[in-house]
A and B are shown apart, each in its own frame.
Chain A
């Protein structure tokens, strides 16, 4: 082991990041905004100082920007790493979007990303290659079972999935974060029946988190349903998206056989079955008089509504029922959000003949939190997250009402594996973020937290063609 590695091992074994237990995250709702910002600011400085000597990837990035272990508030912007890069950097470094083909290099990449000493020599116990991404992720989880590692991924519909690692501590924090938000904004309670139009087995972070939140609330398994019976492993999602295939004959099989076949099966069998099963559960809940929480992607939710409308009998549920969705539109869909909302209002109503609310969730695989939509349509960022917007030159924007690229520092929810300081590719109008508070701008839902204004979130990672320079 070289001297640098030895030094890092010594650093890692020193006392863990202390701030995790200082403030139970739920207590942040009770702290006033100015005090909250000050507490979070100090936590960010402490978190940075803790991770800086331990996390190679983070240190390399911020050091190249002129940042050292000791920082001032003016350095904050330079701590942010792009969500689009950090957990996808394995693709560049390994030279392939298929980490299962380069096991040892993948372990090296992982070791580079985390703030603890990862005994990479254990990689010798792994095969040099694995048949799928799911297989390698399971193998690594087993290899480092003593660390309590769990992998999750982004949706992967671009064909290139982000891979995030969490340990038990960060997992618990993340589940706590989601659970608190679902409870507060969606009114999730133990007497709800939870219906997920998604597979029970998936690595997709957002889907896993809502599942864990439901368990955390205490909804029993007999009242928790996953209406897509098949797992959605990363390679299946990749192939179905049709954007990235493996090389050689395997890729030819993926492209010409699996891709059309999987989509046909999905369209003709899986989705209709999921729609049918979901409606059955909703009907039963209607009969037994239950509150339901229905979680689904937009397209499946709309298909459910269309099916109910075509049958001609809307479903009526107890007040307190809610439909939750998220992830945006990852593929082209011929109906607009307005049309979808219209159909949902017709299809699923309360016994008081009001539409069952539909609420969206904004989140990303890289974050340990999600912003839930309130009854005013705004997306509330949890108060333990320091949220800001950046201008086009990556400078923090000060003020209570700012439009720019969303960035966040999550010193409490981030855990000990990596500093959760990220800038996103989403432009939004952020009200009462952490660098400006105006009580007159508080959301009409009554919550006094930072929020992204309804309808203001847009993706901005496309390159503009202003001149005659081609994009090939």
Chain B
């Protein structure tokens, strides 16, 4: 069907000038998530051009020229939104060749099942790009250091946690709470992004964020993004579709692959950039940070750096969702079934290889009659995972690891505090563990929650999660929490807000409802950064956002969305 795919994207003028018969390419081949030879059966190959330093300079010249003619301000963002809607329609249409190419190639390259790719590319609007404009227009006062602020008109709440402890204290005692947190405006003229990992879409998110900057007015920044070798197909594919719809909206953008250890290229980029956004391992982030510090010192200017290192995420269920007799009004499904399905999806997407994938599910148990137990949840989760797995199969990850974990924890049932509710033949593992957990045990468990391994941890009170468990993990590794709390029709209460504040202070940066864990909302906190942080500077620290106000209402909405997606999941034979 396809030969070698493009793992890069350049605007038309750059392609015409820089890509010639003499252009050399690097080709990378993967099959089922593992590097292979291009001649191996099932190999999917992607290529990207190798540019000389002169060609890199030429690229910047072209992008600068394009920028003079590119749409500006909100007009660009509106056009992009329209383009995204049209692109989403094509990508969700199984009769479209582009859909078939996307499924076959991304699945073959990454090893993720075609059905998972289908679900993920179904609805780009899940990222809520229409909310970006609102996110840029927020005035965030310093009150946010002390209290949750409503993100009006967006649904949700916002809080800021300064890096320095004294600043946190000062925030609590602030006498000028209405002053804005964001001090000065720094609209980047050049943005360099680094994508990584095998989860599709990281490069696309960086692209969208960069274009979103135009919302504040003016031209979009010149943007060069390093694509991920582990998944180089999706983003260029989407950009190609967008270019066909509206070529001008992407004219200031380039997606290529290079080594951040290539000193010559890095110097050229660091000489020009105002803002660097990097997604990568902690080691990569550290190296890039060192380069930025050196370059900033040499150039005597501040190059801003937004780092997105490797993270862990969790789920938490409040006891109210375990109360007997709750059903969703439209489908008449029980609350437990719905929550188990959605929380299961939060763990299943990307087979827990993504930072957003939930690892441990904390379940608040009630001692009062009329409530189900964590074991009931575990059994229901096993049922729902069986159902999900038949529609969204596990990717090409070794089953041996799952088997070894199954064996190990099945043996532990002997102690009476561990129950394995899945079977050896399941392509997932569910363990409910009531043993005492120290730091080492908890960290080991977090680390083995990969490939659809879910631990369920009963807790007596939701506050145990931040007070006991989150404190055992490094703050900068915490990311999101997907929640099932509250009652239908009701907004979050004080108990929940105190809980959220405690989680935020531990380092959690995003709190969503179950079923949305794997899909970051661009308007909200991404590892503690808001869209406003792209164009303004502030003191060091991070934002935590709660992305809902009526959690159960949102959970039910999400449920219906996913029912439709899962039932329509296209699976190749």
Contacts and interface: CB of A to CB of B under 8 A. Distances in A.
- Are A and B a genuine interacting pair, yes or no? yes
Interface of A: 57, 60-61, 64-66, 78, 81-82, 84-85, 89, 92-93, 95, 112, 390, 392-394, 405, 423, 463, 465-472
B399 interface: yes
B410 interface: yes
A466 B353 contact: yes
Interface stretch (B61-69, B195-203, B264-272, B380-388): B195-203
Contacts of A405: 400
Contact of B406 (A64, A66, A92): A64
A468 B309 CA distance: 7
Contact of A393 (B281, B309, B398, B450): B398
A469 B404 contact: no
A22 B474 CA distance: 59
B425 A468 contact: no
Nearest to B33: A466
Contacts of A390: 400
Given A89-B408, A92-B412, A463-B450, A469 B354 contact: yes
B50 interface: no
Nearest to A404: B400
B424 A64 contact: yes
Interface string B473-498: 11001000000000000000000000
Interface size band for B: 35 or more
Nearest to B424: A65
Contact of B310 (A60, A64, A469): A469
Given A85-B407, A393-B399, A465-B310, A472 B412 contact: no
Contact of A467 (B197, B408, B443, B474): B197
Contacts of B411: 57, 60-61, 85, 89, 92-93
6 contacts: A112-B414, A392-B399, A393-B400, A468-B311, A470-B355, A472-B443
Given A61-B407, A66-B424, A469 B398 contact: no
Given A82-B407, A393-B398, A470 B311 contact: yes
Nearest to A467: B353
Contact of B197 (A85, A95, A468): A468
B235 interface: no
A101 B310 CA distance: 38
Given A393-B398, A471-B310, A466 B410 contact: no
A470 B478 CA distance: 9
A66 B279 contact: no
Interface in B338-360: 350, 352-355, 357
Interface in B301-322: 308-312
A34 to B, nearest CB: 28
B415 interface: yes
Contacts of B312: 469-470, 472
B238 interface: no
A180 B352 CA distance: 48
B446 interface: yes
In this complex, the member of A95, A423, A466 whose beta carbon has the largest number of chain B beta carbons within 10 angstroms is A466
B39 interface: no
Contacts of A81: 407
A467 B398 contact: no
Contacts of A467: 197-199, 230, 350, 353-355
B460 interface: no
B408 A85 contact: yes
Given A392-B399, A472-B477, 19 more contacts: A60-B410, A78-B424, A85-B407, A85-B411, A92-B408, A93-B411, A390-B400, A394-B403, A463-B448, A467-B198, A467-B199, A467-B350, A467-B355, A468-B353, A469-B354, A470-B282, A471-B310, A472-B443, A472-B447
B202 to A, nearest CB: 8
B435 interface: yes
B13 to A, nearest CB: 33
B201 to A, nearest CB: 11
A85 B312 CA distance: 26
Contacts of A60: 410-411, 414
Contacts of B308: 468
A66 B308 CA distance: 44
Interface string B180-217: 00000000000000001111001000000000000000
Contacts of A392: 398-400
A452 to B, nearest CB: 19
Contacts of A61: 407, 410-411
A422 to B, nearest CB: 12
B355 A469 contact: yes
B110 to A, nearest CB: 8
B310 A93 contact: no
Given A81-B407, A92-B412, A471 B399 contact: no
Nearest to B398: A392
Given A81-B407, A393-B399, A465-B310, A470 B477 contact: yes
A419 B447 CA distance: 31
A209 to B, nearest CB: 26
A93 B197 contact: no
Nearest to B473: A472
A393 B394 CA distance: 13
Interface in B457-515: 473-474, 477
A136 B448 CA distance: 32
Contacts of B353: 466-469
B358 to A, nearest CB: 11
B569 to A, nearest CB: 21
B424 A468 contact: no
In this complex, the member of A61, A64, A393, A472 whose beta carbon has the largest number of chain B beta carbons within 10 angstroms is A472
B199 A468 contact: yes
Contacts of A84: 404
Given A392-B398, A467-B350, A468-B354, A93 B311 contact: no
A82 B311 contact: no
Contacts of B420: 64
Contact of A82 (B404, B443, B473): B404
Contacts of B399: 392-394
A466 B425 contact: no
A57 B412 CA distance: 11
Contacts of B414: 60, 93, 112
Nearest to A82: B404
A265 B408 CA distance: 38
A108 to B, nearest CB: 9
A470 B435 contact: no
A95 B398 CA distance: 28
A-B complex: 9 closest residue pairs judged by Cβ atoms: A467-B353, A470-B310, A392-B398, A468-B355, A393-B399, A65-B424, A468-B197, A467-B197, A466-B198
B286 to A, nearest CB: 14
Contacts of B425: 66
Contacts of B354: 467-469
A82 B312 CA distance: 28
Nearest to A85: B408
Nearest to B415: A93
Interface string B240-261: 0000000000000000000000
A232 B214 CA distance: 69
Contacts of B407: 61, 64, 81-82, 85
Nearest to B396: A392
Contacts of B447: 463, 471-472
A77 to B, nearest CB: 10
A423 B399 CA distance: 14
A423 B407 CA distance: 12
Contacts of A92: 408, 411-412
Given A95-B435, A394-B400, A469 B357 contact: yes
Contacts of B448: 463
